Amino acid sequence: MMEFQELGNGLSICRVLNGMWQVSGTHGLIDPKKAIDEMIAYHNSGFTTWDLADIYGPAESFIGHFRGALEKLQGKEELKNSQALTKFVPNPGPMSKSIVEHYIDRSLEKMNTDCIDLIQFHWWDYNNPSYIDALVHLSGLQDNGKIKHLGLTNFDTERLQIIKEQGIEIVSNQVQYSILDQRPEKIMTTFCNENNIQLLSYGTLLGGFISEKYLGSPEPLRGDLSTASLQKYYNMINAWGDWDLFQELLEVLSQISQKHACSIANVATVYILEKPQVAGVIIGTRLGISEHRQDNSRVFDLHLDSEDKSKINTVCQKSKDLFDSIGDCGSEYR
């Protein structure tokens, strides 16, 4: 049975979200027709929530074509059962009302909708305070009915506090959160709990590294890392520990997966889904290239017991503290 979570008033999302970074061109060539057909299949399987961004290549246009195809196949009412959470990722600079509205209108047009379910705002440079201006204008567009809810992407706790003090209502923050990267637990989870902000987790499967494919395998060479995700999360593995420690973790995850008759990816996903304030986990979809719908659906029947978590935590205690070496969530981007 699929699990859904109320992210904001009138917005319920599937707790396993379909990540669309993988259509941006850095994860292999995506055939548009196959992609739309696959999106329909995801929707019909209950995976109704899409995570995308204005900088993810054709992702917003794919949503627009998907909505058109879904309406044609199943009627306009069915569109209410689909959720598309996009991101506004501008280059730091002046954020006037007209600039912000221009980019939101462009996303609306591409996505074939008159109201965006959730805008997840990202800002590259905290030294430029115009991110507050952008959020004020986004809040205005929310009042005008162009945006249902406001969220953030890769903001740290200090900036969350500043935004809250400005009176801007935020329902979510999307951050990297995995067995390896548990930085949200240091200070962010407490703040989010106190301020009714939920977390959307990405990087939970390390771009595919957390899987049976890499269990017992030799450390990959840089040339073996064929996608942007693998390149990014190989660096994260090295920041967390080393390949030997990662293999020790995979072995433990394998033992737990065999105990529960599920996959290693299922165990890693549920480990984060069961964390406080986590509304959902984003799992990348390489549309028309590979799919894991049946496997992903198993997470909703899986519960990790205290022994499972203890085994995982025992391995993690041997790793480096990423909060100390990198900083709070999102610091790796600034």
The secondary structure of 113-147 as a DSSP string is -SSEEEEEE--S-TTSTHHHHHHHHHHHHHHTTSE
In a 3-state reduction of DSSP, which class is residue 330? coil
What is the chain's mean pLDDT, rounded?
Answer: 95
Confidence of residue 226 (pLDDT cuts 50, 70, 90): confident
Whole-number Å distance between alpha carbons of 235 and 187: 24
Whole-number Å distance between alpha carbons of 197 and 155: 12
Residues 60-94 have pLDDT tens digits of 999 999 999 999 999 999 999 999 999 999 999 99
Residues 253-285 have pLDDT tens digits of 999 999 999 999 999 999 999 999 999 999 998
Q: Mean pLDDT throughout 25-30?
A: 73
- Give the DSSP letter of residue 277: T
Are the beta carbons of 287 and 41 closer than 8 angstroms? no
140-149 residues labelled b (16+ CB within 10 A) or e (exposed) = ebbeeebbbb
Residues 163-172 have pLDDT tens digits of 999 999 999 9
The separation between the first and the last C-alpha atoms of the chain, rounded to the nearest angstrom, is: 40
pTM of the model: 0.95
Residues 91-113 have pLDDT tens digits of 999 999 999 999 999 999 999 99
Whole-number Å distance between alpha carbons of 302 and 287: 26
Whole-number Å distance between alpha carbons of 249 and 246: 5
User: What is the topology classification, in CATH, of domain 4-333?
Assistant: TIM Barrel (3.20.20)
Q: Which of 24, 54, 304 is nearest to 179 (CA)?
A: 304
Are the beta carbons of 168 and 199 closer than 8 angstroms? no
DSSP string across 7-69: EETTEEEESEEEE-GGGSSSSS---HHHHHHHHHHHHHTT--EEE--TTSTTHHHHHHHHHHH
Whole-number Å distance between alpha carbons of 180 and 142: 36
Are the beta carbons of 109 and 75 closer than 8 angstroms? no
Domain ranges of the chain: 4-333
Confidence of residue 131 (pLDDT cuts 50, 70, 90): very high
Whole-number Å distance between alpha carbons of 324 and 223: 30
Q: What is the CA radius of gyration of the chain?
A: 19
